[in-house]
Amino acid sequence: MLLEEAIRTLKEAADPVRDIEKVPLARASGRVLALDLKASYDQPPFPRSPLDGYAVRGEDTICASEENPVELRILGKIYAGQVFRGEVHKGECVRLMTGAPIPTGANAVIRQEDTDYEPGKAGDFTGPDSRVKIFRGAAPYQNYVYEGEDYRKGDILLRAGTVLNGMRLGIAAGAGLNELEVYREPAITVISTGDEVIAPGQDLKAGKIYDSNQYTVVGRLADLGFSRVESMHCPDDPAIMADRIRKAKETSDLIITTGGVSVGEKDIMHQVMADLKGKKLFWKVSLKPGAPTLAFVLEEKLPVICLTGNPYGVAVNFELLIRPVLEALSLNPGIRSKTCMGKLKNDSPKWGGVRRFMRGFYERESSEVTILAGSHASGTLSSMAACNCLVEIPEDSGGKAGEDVKIYLL
Ligand code: AMP
Ligand code: MG
């Protein structure tokens, strides 16, 4: 099956998670807002001063100058967070700091720098006789932040479906919310297979290798912000595997397995699919590495995506096939792979016949991409260390230096 068709098929099979849960603001970054966020208050909730100075009636000060200062009586002093209870009349003002509410009667603020202010002396509020000289006046509503200047009660601040980030959490916090209603994260089960595969940390025995796939997949899920993940290993026994999947089915929105999808005697996933009465979506996608991907659906709603056991095939399939499914399940467009075009710096050692995905290093400043040195076998792990992108070499391309190629950023 063509890659695009496989992606479309899988996205159609995914059942988006629309359950809603509340999360504290500090943990909401990366989550998808489930309901429109409406303002419950005007913002700011009161007219406020944008600077340190004096709340005045603009009309009293408008003709003030260095030569002809206007002198006003200071009724009092307020800091941000305080409220002046009185009213400002003709010839009066209130000393106030940035963020303080502009008192009733006043309609403009004079900058402290445009007065004769000295701490504890002229222009400070030291008692009922305190006065300030104003050298430069303000028109009414100059230096005046209106109540509701930012937004009004009832305005929609963030739409349902918005992916939350720091900026947007600031908006929510500013509107007084300490938790948000977001879509529940999809629950994902990852199962690696292979009788030869043992958990890292154990002693290496003859014929065995360590399980890297489980950690590639779980790690990549974590990179993308998915934390509701369970992972395990299973021997090459179709009955045990079917049992694991049957259990996982109860709690999962997606099951990802690795290994056992080729044509060997221990490629158990075909048998497992039959035992579980899964509806087959496809087996084999036209790409390299990781062609023998098998996908099926359980009970019309749970996709099971069975990847090759080859570590690089797993990595490539994750980016190309799993990410679109995660995007559909989580209703989060941020999960989509970021792609761009790059210019090949060197010849690809592999090309032709089939669409290939090579390990690459992309330099953003120059838009150049290097196919990494080292083994390009699908079972090789070490050459993935410097890899920051996949490079697509189309089947009809020679993968030569200078060609423009599509890049999938990791
Ligand atoms: P399979 O797709 O099961 O035939 O496995 C293909 C190759 O990948 C074999 O050489 C396996 O030993 C290797 N392999 C399978 N699963 C893993 C795993 N979890 N971690 C590392 N290598 C694996
Ligand atoms: Mg195997």
Q: Could you give the CA distance from residue 295 to residue 398 in angstroms, rounded to a whole number?
A: 31
* Residue 398: predicted pLDDT: 93
Question: Whose Cα sits closest to atom 16 in ligand 1?
Answer: 309
Q: What is the pLDDT of residue 318?
A: 98
Ligand lying nearest the CA atom of residue 258 = 1
Give yes or no for a contact between 158 and 170, defined as CB atoms under 8 angstroms apart: no
- The number of the ligand 1 atom at minimal distance from the alpha carbon of 193 is 16
State the Cα–Cα distance between residues 64 and 53, nearest whole angstrom: 15
Residue nearest to atom 14 of ligand 1 (CA): 309
- How many Cβ atoms are within 10 Å of 245's Cβ, its own excluded? 25
CA–CA gap between residue 65 and residue 70 (Å, rounded): 8
Q: Which pLDDT score, from 0 to 100, does residue 247 have?
A: 98
Tokens of 299: 């009970």
Q: How far is the CA of 194 from the centre of ligand 2 (A)?
A: 4
Q: How many angstroms separate the alpha carbon of residue 123 from the centre of ligand 1?
A: 79
Please give the distance, rounded to the nearest whole angstrom, from the Cα atom of residue 259 to the centre of ligand 1. Answer: 6
Nearest ligand to the CA of 198 is 1
What confidence score (pLDDT) does residue 44 get?
Answer: 98
Q: Within 10 Å of residue 11's Cβ, how many Cβ atoms?
A: 16
Residue of 193, 195, 197 to mutate, ligand 1, most atoms within 8 A of C-beta: 197
Q: Binning pLDDT at 50, 70 and 90, where does residue 12 land?
A: very high
pLDDT at residue 181 in the model = 98
- pLDDT reported for residue 112: 98
Q: How many CB atoms lie within 10 A of CB 276?
A: 19
Share of the chain above pLDDT 70, in %: 100
pLDDT, residue 206, reads 98
Per-residue burial over 22-58, b if 16 or more Cβ lie within 10 Å, else e, is: ebeeeebebbbbbeebebeebbbeebbbebbbbbbbb
Q: What is the mean pLDDT of the chain?
A: 97
Contact residues of ligand 1, CB 6 A cut-off: 192, 194, 196-197, 209, 211-214, 258-260, 262, 308-311, 379
Q: How sure is the predictor about 235, in pLDDT bands with cuts at 50, 70 and 90?
A: very high
Q: What atom in ligand 1 is closest to the CA of residue 259?
A: 3
Mean of the pLDDT values across residues 173-196? 98
Q: Give residue 341's pLDDT.
A: 98
Ligand 1 pocket check: which of 217, 310, 380 to mutate, most ligand atoms within 8 Å of Cβ? 310
Paired residues of 130 in beta bridges? none
Nearest CA, atom 5, ligand 1: 309
**In angstroms, rounded to a whole number, what is the distance separating the alpha carbons of residues 323 and 303?**
13
Name the region of 123 (left: φ>0; alpha: ψ -120 to 50; beta: rest). Answer: left
Summarised one tens digit per residue, pLDDT across range 334-391 is 999 999 999 999 999 999 899 999 999 999 999 999 999 998 899 999 999 999 999 9
Instruction: Name the token pair of 174.
Output: 């500013």
* Residue 196 Cα: closest atom of ligand 1: 12
Query: If you average pLDDT over residues 154-162, what whole number do you get?
Result: 98
Q: Which residue's CA lies nearest to atom 23 of ligand 1?
A: 309
Residue with CA closest to ligand 1 atom 3: 259
Nearest CA to ligand 1 atom 12: 196
Q: Which residues pair with 254 in a beta bridge?
A: 188
Task: List, in order of start, the domains of the chain with CATH numbers.
Answer: 3-17+185-335 (3.40.980.10), 20-43+150-183 (3.90.105.10), 53-134 (2.170.190.11), 339-409 (2.40.340.10)
**Using CA atoms, how far apart are residues 392 and 405, in angstroms rounded to an integer?**
6
pLDDT of residue 225: 97
Please give the pLDDT value at position 32: 98
Probe target for ligand 1 pocket from 191, 198, 204, 258, with the most ligand atoms within 8 Å of CB:
258
Segment 54-62 shows an average pLDDT of 98
Closest to 160 (Cα-Cα) out of 13, 319, 331, 40: 331
Q: What is the pLDDT of residue 172?
A: 98
Q: How far is the CA of 299 from the centre of ligand 1 (A)?
A: 28
Kindly identify the ligand whose nearest atom is closest to the C-alpha of 263.
1
Name the band, by pLDDT with cuts 50, 70 and 90, for residue 268.
very high
pLDDT digits 0-9 by tens, 205-233: 999 999 999 999 999 999 999 999 999 99
